[in-house]
C-alpha cells in the first residue's frame, strides 16, 4: 500500500488526498449487515463528509442514498445519478425558499425548526415532511460536535412537542418521518439507545410515518486507544428494538441512518511533502507543503491524525512537531514520534476521508489539493489540482 501511495504522490504531485473504494464498500457492508434483521433499511451517506462526485457515484453503486445539507449538495447528488427519492435534505437555518426549491425536486425534506415548519405546512400541506427532533442527549465531551444537547441550534426540542403537534394539526400537514442526529461523537451505544427511546416516544404521536431516521454519530478510531462504535452490537440491539416498535406501531417502517465519518474517514489519507526540517531550541519542526487550508481538523477540533513517514518507514523514531507552510500557526501534530524525517519525504496523514478535503480553502492563495480514488487496484484522478486560473476565476479586476 505505501508503495502505491508513494507512486501516487510522485505521479500526481503533493499535497494530495487518496481514497480507497474497498474500505468504503467494506464499511457500508458492515453497517447493512449489522442491521440485516430490519427489512426496510436505508443508508443515506452524509455528503458533506466527502462530496466528490466520483465518491457519490461509488455510494450509488453500493445502493446507498444520500443525506444533504444544502441545495448544492442535492444538485451534486442528482448530477451523480441519485433519484430524488434517494435523497434526504437536512438543512439547518436555511431559508424557506431553499427548502421549497428542494421539495419541488421531489427530495424528502427534513425541517428542524417550528417557524419554518409552520410556514411550510401552511403553504404546502400535501408535501410530506420529516421533522428533526432534539432529544437533548449529550453525545461526547466536545461541545463543538455534540448537537443534541440543550444549547444546540439543531433540531426541535422534545419539550416543544405540544406546540409542534398543534402546528401539524392546524396546517393538516403530513409528517412522514422523524429524525435525530445527536452529533459526531457518540460515546457509547447506551447513549445512542437512550436517545432512540426518546425518538420512539415521539414517533407515537404521528400516525402516518414511513421512516425513522437515527442520524449518525458513529465513532471511528483516530489514534491508538480511541474507541470505535461497536456497530455490530448496536445493530443487534437497535434492530430488535426497532422491529418491536414497528409491531406496536402497526406498520413496518424504514430504519434510516446517515453516516459520514463512519463510511469514509478511514478510507482516506492525505499525503504531503516535507519542505523543511527546522531544528529550534525547543523542538524539531517538519514543515510540509500544506497547512490548515488543506487539512483543518487538527486545528479546528484538536483531532489527532496519525502521521507516517512513507519515505523512511524503518528509520529510527524521533520526536517532531509537524507544521504547515502558511503564515499562521498551523500545527498538525506536537511532539509526535515519527520515523526520522528528511526534507523531501512524503508524510501520510491517516483518517483523512471525512471532513478534510471538503473543508479545504484557498487561504494564502494556495491551490486546493488533488484527489485520487484507488478502485479495483487502479489509481484514478478524481479531482485535478487547482491552478492559478482557479484562484482568479471569480475575481473582478476593476480599473483604479
Ligand atoms: C454531518 C451530518 C451527518 C454525518 O455525521 P457523521 O458524524 O459524519 O457520521 C449526519 N446527519 C446530519 C444531519 C449531519 O449534519
Same domain membership, residue 310 and residue 220: no
Count Cβ atoms below 10 Å from residue 59 Cβ, excluding itself: 25
pLDDT of residue 184: 52
Q: For residue 370, what is the domain's CATH number?
A: 2.40.37.10
pLDDT of residue 359: 98
Contacts of 101 (CB under 8 A, 6+ apart): 71
pLDDT of residue 159: 92
| Interval 150-203: pLDDT, tens | 667 889 999 999 999 999 999 999 999 999 987 655 657 888 888 899 999 999
pLDDT of residue 148: 59
Any atom of ligand 1 within 6 Å of the Cβ of 163? no
Any atom of ligand 1 within 6 Å of the Cβ of 145? no
- Which domain range does residue 328 map to? 2-16+265-387
Residues shown for the chain: 400
Q: Which residue is associated with the grid cell 512537531?
A: 321
In this prediction, the residues of the chain whose per-residue pLDDT falls under 70 are 138-151, 183-187
pLDDT of residue 143: 43
To the nearest 10°, report the CA torsion of 207, 46, 292, 309.
140
For the annotated catalytic residues, the residue numbers are 327
Any atom of ligand 1 within 6 Å of the Cβ of 149? no
Q: For residue 189, what is the domain's CATH number?
A: 3.20.20.10
Give distance in angstroms: CA of 189 to centre of ligand 1: 17
pLDDT of residue 145: 45
Choosing from 219, 236, 263, the residue where a domain stops is 263
Same domain membership, residue 193 and residue 290: no
Count Cβ atoms below 10 Å from residue 356 Cβ, excluding itself: 25
User: DSSP labels for 89-109?
Assistant: E--SS--HHHHHHHHHTTPEE
DSSP classification of residue 158: G
Any atom of ligand 1 within 6 Å of the Cβ of 69? yes
Q: Which residue is associated with the grid cell 421533522?
A: 131
pLDDT of residue 307: 98
Same domain membership, residue 141 and residue 236: yes
Confirm whether 392 is domain-assigned. Answer: no
Q: Are the beta carbons of 220 and 260 closer than 8 angstroms?
A: no
Residue of 30, 42, 49, 156 to test ligand 1 pocket, by largest number of atoms within 8 Å of CB? 49
Grid cell listed for 225: 486507544
pLDDT of residue 142: 47
Grid cell listed for 96: 424557506
Q: For residue 185, which atom of ligand 1 is closest to its CA? A: 7
Give dist(CA 352, CA 298) in Å, integer: 11
Grid cell listed for 334: 506536537
Same domain membership, residue 279 and residue 250: no
Amino acid at each position: 500500500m505505501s508503495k502505491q501511495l508513494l507512486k501516487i504522490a510522485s505521479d500526481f504531485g503533493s499535497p494530495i488526498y487518496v481514497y480507497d473504494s474497498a474500505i468504503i464498500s467494506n464499511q457500508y457492508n458492515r453497517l447493512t449487515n449489522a442491521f440485516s434483521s430490519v427489512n426496510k433499511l436505508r443508508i443515506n451517506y452524509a455528503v458533506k463528509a466527502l462530496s466528490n462526485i466520483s465518491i457519490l457515484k461509488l455510494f450509488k453503486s453500493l445502493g446507498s442514498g444520500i443525506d444533504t445539507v444544502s441545495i448544492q449538495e442535492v444538485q451534486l447528488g442528482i448530477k451523480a445519478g441519485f433519484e430524488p427519492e434517494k435523497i434526504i435534505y437536512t438543512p439547518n437555518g436555511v431559508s424557506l425558499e431553499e427548502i421549497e426549491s428542494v421539495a419541488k425536486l421531489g427530495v424528502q425534506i427534513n425541517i428542524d425548526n417550528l417557524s419554518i415548519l409552520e410556514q411550510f405546512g401552511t403553504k404546502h400541506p400535501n408535501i410530506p415532511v420529516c421533522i428533526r427532533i432534539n432529544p437533548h442527549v449529550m453525545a461526547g465531551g466536545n461541545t463543538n460536535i455534540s448537537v443534541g444537547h440543550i444549547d444546540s441550534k439543531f433540531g426541535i426540542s422534545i419539550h416543544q412537542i405540544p406546540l409542534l403537534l398543534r402546528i401539524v394539526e392546524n396546517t393538516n400537514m403530513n409528517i412522514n418521518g422523524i429524525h435525530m442526529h445527536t452529533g459526531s461523537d457518540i460515546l457509547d451505544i447506551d447513549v445512542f439507545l437512550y436517545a432512540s427511546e426518546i425518538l420512539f416516544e415521539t414517533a407515537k404521536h404521528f400516525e402516518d410515518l414511513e421512516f425513522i431516521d437515527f442520524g449518525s454519530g458513529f465513532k471511528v478510531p483516530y489514534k491508538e486507544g480511541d474507541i470505535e462504535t461497536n456497530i455490530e452490537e448496536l445493530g443487534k440491539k437497535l434492530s430488535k428494538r426497532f422491529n418491536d416498535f414497528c409491531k406496536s406501531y402497526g406498520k413496518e417502517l424504514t430504519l434510516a441512518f446517515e453516516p459520514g465519518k463512519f463510511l469514509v474517514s478511514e478510507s482516506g489519507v492525505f499525503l504531503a511533502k516535507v519542505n523543511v526540517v527546522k531544528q529550534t531550541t525547543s523542538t524539531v519542526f517538519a514543515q510540509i507543503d500544506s497547512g490548515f487550508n488543506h487539512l483543518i481538523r487538527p486545528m479546528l477540533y484538536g483531532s489527532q491524525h496519525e502521521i507516517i513517514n512513507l519515505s523512511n518507514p524503518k528509520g529510527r523514531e524521533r520526536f517532531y512537531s509537524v507544521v504547515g507552510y502558511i503564515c499562521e500557526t498551523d500545527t498538525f501534530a506536537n511532539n509526535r514520534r515519527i520515523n526520522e524525517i528528511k526534507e523531501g519525504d512524503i508524510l501520510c496523514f491517516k483518517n483523512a476521508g471525512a471532513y478534510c478535503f471538503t473543508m479545504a480553502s484557498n487561504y494564502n492563495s494556495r491551490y486546493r489539493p488533488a484527489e485520487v480514488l484507488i478502485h479495483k487496484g487502479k489509481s484514478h484522478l478524481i479531482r485535478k489540482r487547482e491552478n492559478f486560473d482557479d484562484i482568479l476565476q471569480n475575481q473582478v479586476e476593476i480599473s483604479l
